[in-house]
Structure 1
Amino acid sequence: MSGPKYLGHLNINVRNVEISHEWYTDLLGLHTYDFIPGRAAFLSANVELSHEIALTQV
């Protein structure tokens, strides 16, 4: 199964960053660029790029 090749920059507010991070990485195949437990996760479709998606816990 191939994952996404490129995404634009998105900021998504989530209720639980740990659960959301797991969903975006396990089911969508995104890579973790940075992760701050309880606060934010920064994800990318391309490991050579900085983050394309920021998940922010609200």
Structure 2
Amino acid sequence: MIDWESLRAIVLDIEGTTCPVDFVTGSLFPYARQHLGTLLSQDDQQAPLKPLLDEVRIAW
């Protein structure tokens, strides 16, 4: 379950709203693809991310 009290950021769907669609597909997706694995493999990041990742696994 998400702890809404400690939530520090919300990712919004910006594709086509605040920036062109090609920026999202051409810049943001490749950036995320390149850096997400490193972020998820850092031990100090696991504790805060684990509940969210568990929710994604269940929902997916």
TM-score by length of 2: 0.25
Q: Which has the higher strand share?
A: 1
Q: Which has the larger radius of gyration?
A: 2
Q: Which has the higher helix share?
A: 2
Q: Identify which of structures 1 and 2 has the higher relative contact order when contacts are C-alpha pairs closer than 8 Å and 6+ apart.
A: 2
TM-score by length of 1: 0.25
